[in-house]
Structure 1
Amino acid sequence: MSFDIDHITASLGYVLASTVHGRRRVRFFRGDPHRELLAELTRLTDNGTLRPVVDRAFPLADIAQAHRALEAGGVRGKIVVTIRTGRPAE
């Protein structure tokens, strides 16, 4: 959930509206990241300071299995779907 300090009323509305759906439902999300913040996030990830938590990775062909894992619950981290482009990795 994101809270946009520049749009306080809208952010509060999203937070309140999202509570109607319960804890395990997808919440409303509105984001407007600034270039500088994304650059900082990239830097922290690249240097290893920030590491995403990945539960499992699935190839695109197994996307249905990835959805079933999410629906079943108990996922601890992100579900990653890998896509092969046919180009060699750099």
Structure 2
Amino acid sequence: MLKPGGRMVTIAFDLTRPAASLGYIAASAVHGRGRVRFFSGNPGRPLFDDLARQVTEGKLRPAVDTVFPLEETAAAHRALEAGGVRGKYVVRVD
């Protein structure tokens, strides 16, 4: 749990560049113990298969804020840049 005003630092550990990854982790130590979180930025086929299964079964649904038709792609970009997005912006291609 972060204290008010605290910052969390997320770092991806790149197995192809362990020295660089460890350097980033060491540098993040200034942000406080326990605030570094690891995640894999390279999901494999089994994870994508599980994700697709959950979507198909209705167990997982994306948080969609707004659906724009293809012709309004520029408006979608402007809205995204304006901020305040509470879900994904989708551009529908028919």
**TM-score interval, smaller chain:** 0.5 to 0.7
- If each structure's helix is expressed as a fraction of its own residues, which one has the higher value? 1
**Unmatched 5+ stretches in structure 1:** 17-29, 85-90
1:68 corresponding residue in structure 2: 78
Letter in 1 for 2:79: A
1:34 corresponding residue in structure 2: 44
**Unmatched 5+ stretches in structure 2:** 1-9, 28-39
2:35 corresponding residue in structure 1: none
Task: Give how far 1:33 is off.
Answer: 1.8
- If each structure's strand is expressed as a fraction of its own residues, which one has the higher value? 2
Question: TM-score if structure 1 supplies the norm length?
Answer: 0.63
Q: Percent identity?
A: 45
Q: CA RMSD in A?
A: 2.7
Aligned equivalents of 1:65, 1:3: Cα separation in 2: 33
Question: TM-score if structure 2 supplies the norm length?
Answer: 0.60
Letter in 2 for 1:50: L
2:60 corresponding residue in structure 1: 50
